[in-house]
Amino acid sequence: MDMEKSTENKESRDSSLTDMVEQVQSEKIRNYINGRVIPQMKWYSSKSRECKRKYYRCMTISILLGILIPVISVFADGAIEVKALLAFLGAAVTADNAYLSLHNFKDLWLDYRITRERLLRTLYCYFNDAGIFSQGNTQAEKDVLLVNVCEEELIRENNGWQSSMKE
């Protein structure tokens, strides 16, 4: 049920966004939003969901395997098979945590989501002459400001990604 509600909300937001884009006077800016900003937002949304799923999956596996270790050790009778199983479970938890650390799914999930939300907020401010778009600029100046703000956000996220890859 929650998934259906989430899908309905997303479709409603997407429809609302599409309606707002259609009201933009400049064809150049409409094309920029439809051809650059919205596809980037969809990409960030998709990658965010993917990283979130991977993070939750890995954490769940790690937690469940970690829980098994003390439970099995309580019933251990000193048999080599039980010792081997405990060693395997401990190694699996360590490997899972190393995989999580290596791929940084949680940070990527949050960074992608934040970038998508910042782009969305920028569009909503632009459409509603709010925030930095309310400062009495001409429409042409607001259009240029929109492109600059969106591109700055994309560059910021990309630079963050590049620096994390270098570390």
Query: pLDDT per residue over 36-90, tens digit each?
Result: 999 999 999 999 999 999 999 999 999 999 999 999 998 878 789 899 999 999 9
pLDDT at 1 over 60: no
Task: Give me the number of domains the chain comprises.
Answer: 1
Cβ atoms 71, 63 nearer than 8 A: no
Of 6 and 78, the structure prediction assigns the larger pLDDT to 78
Q: Would 118 be classed as within a structural domain? A: yes
Give the residue numbers spanning the domain of 96: 26-166
Q: Would 5 be classed as within a structural domain? A: no
Q: Would 113 be classed as within a structural domain? A: yes
Of 167 and 138, the structure prediction assigns the larger pLDDT to 138
Q: Would 31 be classed as within a structural domain? A: yes
Predicted confidence at residue 119, as pLDDT, reads 97
How many other C-beta atoms can be found within 10 angstroms of the C-beta atom of residue 124?
15
Of 5 and 106, the structure prediction assigns the larger pLDDT to 106
pLDDT by residue (tens digit) across 111-142? Answer: 999 999 999 999 999 999 999 999 878 999 99
pLDDT by residue (tens digit) across 137-159? Answer: 899 999 999 999 999 999 998 88
39-47: list long-range contacts, CB under 8 Å, 24+ apart.
40/119, 40/154, 41/116, 41/119, 41/120, 44/112, 44/113, 44/115, 44/116, 44/119, 44/157, 45/112, 45/113, 45/116, 47/108, 47/112
